Amino acid sequence: MILVPLTSRQPPAWQRALQDAVTDPAELLALLGLGPQWLEPARAAARRFPLRVPRGFVARMRHGDACDPLLRQVLPLGAELDDVPGFGTDPVGDLAARSGAGVLQKYDGRALLVTTGACAVHCRYCFRRHFPYDEENASRGGFEPALAAIGRDPSISEVILSGGDPLSLSDRRLAALFDGLRAIPHVRRLRLHTRLPIVLPERIDAGFLGLWSAVPLQKVVVVHANHAREFDGSVRAAIESLQSTRTTVLNQAVLLRGVNDSADDLVSLSETLFEAGVLPYYLHHPVAGAAHFDVPMATAQRLVAEAGARLPGYLVPRLVREDAGAPSKTMLPPASR
Ligand code: SF4
């Protein structure tokens, strides 16, 4: 059993930072010195999907720059209210993959646990922003039904903890989940999909590292960064700490218009990731959650070809599309040059 040390009543620093996130569009604009013309559209879009961004992430944004690539990922815009054909509420077929108890099974050998609906940051392009977390959430009422479902299926060798963001769960809840998973003999690999090491690196603290290092499974953490400027010293330190626990760290990014849609941006992201010890894994296309971020397919393939010509092969992310009902992600080849 993984023991979580008893601590004082004071919540850990990461939980205080989580609670202290910026949620008011007016405050975000004021912090960045941006004019009032952004406020009403931001308020209207935030009524559908609230603004949430940790202050440490805001501090990495450029003051006075409404086109800052970090800001664009979190600032609600009026364009989100447009209904655009092809950009539905379940773009990657999550609902059809539900098997109950917060377990999604899309691909052979792997099960994805929707562990929580909570995230430290609300990414405006999120493809799960309409997901029915109230109905399909493994942590609701305890993890036992989800663990039992995984235990009944010996074909599952890898469990992916997703959400929402699994690292927004407390150490106590994570310890219970890790204990349950390690007791299932056919589960050999545990993967976390999380944006917290990037947007709230305080989360990778001694408490978490203690319980994560005690997990005897092969461990993979897939972080989510879209732009090189998301990295600072605290992010690099968090990733280094994860690596000290024998964890493979990969990155998945989303190709986003106005954020990282140039070969320079993609090259810089890959190089920054590798300097931090992270390998680029997927570059998702198209953006399923919001049409105004979409990059045309031909452009996406050309950008990856251009970036690929400037990078060693191991730093070129795989351009992928997720098709509802498909047995795996669809690899999209770079354009021939
Ligand atoms: S962290 Fe992931 S799940 Fe959460 S809002 Fe961003 S993209 Fe969506």
The CA 181 to ligand 1 mean position distance, Å, reads 24
Minimal CA–CA distance to 50: which of 1, 120, 139? 120
Provide the pLDDT for residue 2: 66
Beta bridge mates, 190? 159, 219
Q: Whose CA is nearest to atom 8 of ligand 1?
A: 126
Provide the pLDDT for residue 299: 96
The CA 118 to ligand 1 mean position distance, Å, reads 9
| Ligand 1 contacts CB of residue 128 (under 6 A) | yes
Residue showing tokens 């501090």: 59
| Ligand 1 contacts CB of residue 122 (under 6 A) | yes
Q: b/e map of 105-117 (b: 16 or more CB within 10 Å)?
A: bbeeebbbbbbbb
pLDDT tens digit at each of 337 positions of the chain:
666 665 557 899 999 999 999 999 999 999 999 999 999 999 999 999 999 999 999 999 999 999 999 999 999 999 988 877 666 666 666 666 666 678 988 889 999 999 999 999 999 999 877 777 677 777 777 899 999 999 999 999 999 999 889 999 999 999 999 999 999 999 999 999 999 999 999 999 999 999 999 999 999 999 999 999 999 999 999 999 999 999 999 999 999 999 999 999 999 999 999 999 999 999 998 665 578 999 999 999 999 999 999 999 999 999 998 887 777 888 888 887 6
d(CA 138, CA 103): 7
Starting at the earlier edge strand, list the strands of the sheet with 330-331. 103-104, 110-114, 158-162, 189-193, 218-223, 247-254, 279-284, 318-321, 330-331
Q: Where is 43: in which H helix or E strand?
A: helix 39-48
Q: Whose CA is nearest to atom 3 of ligand 1?
A: 164
Contact by Cβ (8 Å): 300, 255 = yes
The CA 1 to ligand 1 mean position distance, Å, reads 30
Mention every residue, 6+ apart, whose C-beta is less than 8 A from residue 95: 132
| Ligand 1 contacts CB of residue 253 (under 6 A) | no
Measured over the CA atoms of residue 100, residue 187, residue 223 and residue 12, the dihedral's sign is: positive
The CA 308 to ligand 1 mean position distance, Å, reads 27
Q: DSSP per residue over 211-231, as a string? A: HHHT--SEEEEEE---SGGG-
Q: DSSP per residue over 97-122, as a string? A: GB-STTEE--STTEEEEE--S--SS-
Provide the pLDDT for residue 290: 78
Mapping DSSP to helix (H, G, I), strand (E, B) and coil, where does residue 158 land?
strand
pTM of the model: 0.93
Q: Which of 126, 127, 256 to mutate to test the pocket of ligand 1 (most atoms within 8 A of CB)?
A: 126
| Ligand 1 contacts CB of residue 156 (under 6 A) | no
d(CA 124, CA 126): 6
| Ligand 1 contacts CB of residue 196 (under 6 A) | no
User: How many CA atoms within 13 Å lie on the side-chain side of 161?
Assistant: 28
